[in-house]
Structure 1
Amino acid sequence: MPTTTERRSAPPSADPDLGRAVPVTMTVNGEAHTILVEPRRTLLDTLRHDLGLTGAKKVCDVGNCGACTVHLDGRPVYSCLLLAVDCADRTVTTIEGLAKGNALDPVQEAFVRRDAFQCGFCTPGQVMSLRALLDETPDPTDEQIARAVTGNLCRCGAYRNILEAGRLAAEIQAARRNDEGVGR
């Protein structure tokens, strides 16, 4: 047992490569990227700092607010809880990847038309959650819309307009499908 004057050195790390950056290839908004990331770096930090995609917000950093919501292989996820290395060979879509040319995604258009944001900080996460809902359920009920954004906090209290935007987005999407004969 060491005395008060003796010091023990810290045990060696179980993984000496833990802090070394590793190459990770992922498709982000339709483009393949190979990025050197440290194994503990989150997808959120990788998107914001390495790729300059700042739409997903870093707010709580523990998966409580939904401001960092992105799609991973078509499913909404909190990017603050995912390690970038776990996204290798997967597809990530951020708010920046929704618009097609100059045409906003139906959810983005609905948010503008229904003034579904005040400060706008939660908006990217809300939009991504509703986009995922409409991808799976093109004609959702009000309850499904409300459930889709349950994990997204809006500190400004714009929930009513957000729910109205969800309804309108479904209508816009349906109208576009009828007009163009295509998806969104």
Structure 2
Amino acid sequence: MLRTIQSSNKTKKTKVLDAKEQIEARDMYWEAVSSDASKEGYLERAEERLLVCIEKNPFVGEPHVLLSQVYLGRKRFLEAEREAERGLVLLLQWGSPWDKRMSWEGWIAWVRVLLMKSSDQSWPDVSWGDLELGSCPLRLQFVRACLCFTKIRFNKKIDESVDACR
């Protein structure tokens, strides 16, 4: 598979991904996703596997999104933001998910949450801490992001609901 990637200095580079690289990237991704999160050192192992995945196949967004989540869990907020931004760009370029366990819209929504949390420099420390991710202000930001993304304009009723939750 021949893909073009744009580097930070705006020059385009091409890279041929052979089947072996794609399989290795997929396997590293799956190991990171399916490993036991309750075991000691989980985040470190997931980070290593996701970095290898990205090295083997830098053209898909989901590994960047998950790496962003790992960085948030390790309180590495700048790196989390960078990876979330890269993941979002790739997801938007593709227009369909590479990891089909979740819809493309679900990936977009989740990466926007990660961007917001990395910008806020906050992430829950306990398993149940992610319940706050469903709080009213966050849901409203999510709704606004989704509606803006799909270019649907807010009507008066939605604006009133948003104002009521502020």
Task: Specify if TM > 0.5.
Answer: no
TM-score, length of structure 1 as denominator length:
0.26
Q: Is the strand fraction higher in 1 or 2? A: 1
Q: Is the helix fraction higher in 1 or 2? A: 2
TM-score, length of structure 2 as denominator length:
0.28
Ranked by relative contact order (alpha carbons within 8 Å, sequence separation 6 or more), the top structure is 1
Larger radius of gyration: 1
